[in-house]
Structure 1
Amino acid sequence: MELLNYMRLFVEVARAKSFRRAADALNMPNSTVSRHIAELEKTIGLRLLNRSTRKVELTEAGEVYFRRCQSIVEEARIAHESLRDVAERPTGTLRVSMPADFATGYLAPVIADFEKTYPLIAFEFDLSPRPVDLQTEPFDLAIRLGPPPTAPSTLVARPIAVLQRYLYASPEYLRRAAPLTHPNDLDRHVVCIVEGAARLGQVARTFYRGDESVNVMVGTRFAMNSVALSRALAIQGVGLAVLDNVLALDDVTLGRLARVLPGWSLAPVQVHAVTETRLLPARARLFIDFLKVRLREP
């Protein structure tokens, strides 16, 4: 048990790259963490960490040991949490990274229902655009839009939803803009382009109608990395926005937006729950299952 505890401390220090930050996270004195890591290194007979006044880095042996310790510590934690599964009262803090637009546009009501169902679970959400490292950062899962990640190979991607995407514009924009009856007409229109790394310029887009597909180059004065902003600009009559039908539903109902090129759609976007391992704590498994059911409802 002592060795397992030392391994847990080592994993926390390796993730934080700091004895002090690890000690704060574990609510332990910094000197205790440092002493236990030194005892671990003495037991193993190898230096695991290179220490300096500015940072802590893994040695080559430490890299190997860290990869093995992560899974061992995680399995031990899950073994303890599995006892709570028996009582069907999962607890702990669910840590999720997800895109801000998707979180606010889709997941807010789902999360509200989930927390009512499981009142003992607490939540930490990271909505920053940066891609978190699930191997070294303490997240249970990440919600990602687009194709499943292929690297690193240890990641597990579970499909939870598919978003159908269409063009929308305000009635005001459509009244004053050039006729738009085919995707080829888009060269005379303003399209708000949403890319992961927003930049101006023409981008290729493929539109589908049944078995028919058309490739067009779309240019814009507005490039961004926010679907919510493209939707807001479309409502203001600035141009066209690519939105999924659920996100646009309220605006269409209220007459703020109208579907454009109703027979045509863009390629749908896949949504995945990505985890570093298949061994998940109860709170993460329940949350993923909850998302699958709710996001597939009409």
Structure 2
Amino acid sequence: MTPRFDYLQAFVKVAETGSFSEAARRLGLSKSMISRQVSALEADLGVRLLHRTTRSLSPTEAGRAYLERCQRILADLEEANLQVSHLQAVPRGKLRVSAPLSFGIGHLAAALPGFLERYPEIELDMNMTDRHVDLVEEGWDVAVRIGRLADSSLIARRLAPVRRLAAASPSYLAKRGIPLVPQDLTRHDCLTHGVMVAAEWRFTDADGQGYEVAVGGRFHADNGDVLRVMALAGLGITMLPSFFMGDDIRAGRLVPVLEGFVPLDATLNAVYPHSRHLSPKVRAFVDYLAEVFGPEPYWDRDITPAVEA
């Protein structure tokens, strides 16, 4: 007997997630129903597809081979459905997005109303956290991430450059002086990201020469917004992406230093699981963010040059 489509779907979700409960949640069914469907599939095929213990669940050798074929079958079916359905032309459905907390609140949130207005058939589920989420395991469609991306099976789309700046308040610089070269930072109070007492800040000059400077100070935090507040209070020099400090620099509340030694830049990226067919809702979201932030993001406009000694 040919296995039913819902049996195949249940088996694939269980094998991918390693959990009957998680597979049931993603498919909107009960755990007992998923278990019965997988057992029925095994009975139809006359082979055990899953190793089951009290602590783990994994495909058997036959199950791994069958899983690969089933994934291709389901992907082909999804692509065929998309090509002939309304979904191909109009992005719609629930879109699950993860983003860094500070950037999400400070910049991404302001872009979301325009996205939802443009695509009224999309329901947006946002997760703002600095935790590195596993898109595949946790079922997220796309994530916004900052920095250099580790090699993975995810596809990355560059959305905007992320310029980093070293900056301090005018009162701090008046009291402690303006650093002229990166090594001068060893004599300054530096507000560092993380919990380490000492950190290394990296710079490069116009000739491409790199510099790594061990810096330290009296305050460390794992959040850029907090470091910005401490810099505004005159407690030291901090180095952050410009999207944290653009408004403060334009208003003169913070002054960039060492601009002749621009810190190595990172990028703002959208990442999503690899698929032969990118869903319209993910494509729409990624294209929209690239349009809003772009190669010259608004937070970098009219940032004043560094104060000269």
SS of 2:263's equivalent in the other structure is strand
Shifted more, 67-76 versus 119-128: the winner is: 67-76
Q: For structure 1, which runs of at least 5 residues remain unmatched after alignment?
A: none
1:268 aligns with 2:265: yes
Q: Is the 8 A contact 1:157 1:272 kept in 2?
A: yes
- Name the structure 2 match of 1:156: 155
State, as a whole percentage, how many aligned pairs show the same letter.
33
Cα distance in 2 for residues equivalent to 1:41 and 1:131: 36
Map Cα deviations across residues 80-110 of structure 1 (whole Å, 9 max, x no partner): 3452245x43211111222222222331222
Cα distance in 2 for residues equivalent to 1:137 and 1:104: 22
Map Cα deviations across residues 106-141 of structure 1 (whole Å, 9 max, x no partner): 312222211111122112223333333333331212
Cα separation, partners in 2 of 1:192 and 1:47, compared to 1, 3 Å: farther
Cα separation, partners in 2 of 1:76 and 1:212, compared to 1, 3 Å: same
Cα separation, partners in 2 of 1:194 and 1:84, compared to 1, 3 Å: farther
Give TM-score scaled by structure 2 length: 0.82
Letter of the structure 2 residue corresponding to residue 273 of structure 1: A
1:211 aligns with 2:207: yes
- Name the structure 2 match of 1:252: 249
Give how far 1:31 is off.
2.7
Cα separation, partners in 2 of 1:240 and 1:74, compared to 1, 3 Å: farther
- Name the structure 2 match of 1:288: 286
Cα distance in 2 for residues equivalent to 1:144 and 1:236: 29
Give how far 1:64 is off.
4.4
Cα separation, partners in 2 of 1:178 and 1:121, compared to 1, 3 Å: same
1:84 aligns with 2:80: no
SS of 1:250's equivalent in the other structure is helix
Cα separation, partners in 2 of 1:172 and 1:292, compared to 1, 3 Å: same
Give how far 1:67 is off.
4.7
Cα separation, partners in 2 of 1:200 and 1:54, compared to 1, 3 Å: same
Cα distance in 2 for residues equivalent to 1:194 and 1:102: 15
Q: Is the 8 A contact 2:90 2:280 kept in 1?
A: no
- Name the structure 2 match of 1:125: 126
Map Cα deviations across residues 41-67 of structure 1 (whole Å, 9 max, x no partner): 223333222334555444344344445
- Name the structure 2 match of 1:180: 179
- Name the structure 2 match of 1:166: 165
Residues 1-298 of structure 1 mapped to structure 2, 5 A cutoff:
3-53=4-54, 56-82=57-83, 83-86=85-88, 88-151=89-152, 154-194=153-193, 198-203=195-200, 205-221=201-217, 222-278=219-275, 279-296=277-294, 297-298=296-297
Q: Is the 8 A contact 1:199 1:224 kept in 2?
A: no
Cα distance in 2 for residues equivalent to 1:45 and 1:2: 11
Cα separation, partners in 2 of 1:212 and 1:132, compared to 1, 3 Å: closer
Give TM-score scaled by structure 1 length: 0.84
Cα distance in 1 for residues equivalent to 2:286 and 2:33: 37
SS of 1:136's equivalent in the other structure is helix
Letter of the structure 1 residue corresponding to residue 263 of structure 2: L
Cα separation, partners in 2 of 1:51 and 1:202, compared to 1, 3 Å: same
Cα separation, partners in 2 of 1:291 and 1:50, compared to 1, 3 Å: same
Cα separation, partners in 2 of 1:172 and 1:137, compared to 1, 3 Å: same
Letter of the structure 2 residue corresponding to residue 220 of structure 1: G
Q: For structure 2, which runs of at least 5 residues remain unmatched after alignment?
A: 298-309
Cα separation, partners in 2 of 1:104 and 1:188, compared to 1, 3 Å: same
Cα separation, partners in 2 of 1:216 and 1:23, compared to 1, 3 Å: closer
Give how far 1:156 is off.
1.9
Cα separation, partners in 2 of 1:265 and 1:246, compared to 1, 3 Å: same
Cα separation, partners in 2 of 1:140 and 1:65, compared to 1, 3 Å: farther
How big is the alpha-carbon RMSD for the aligned residues of Structure 1 and Structure 2? Answer: 2.7
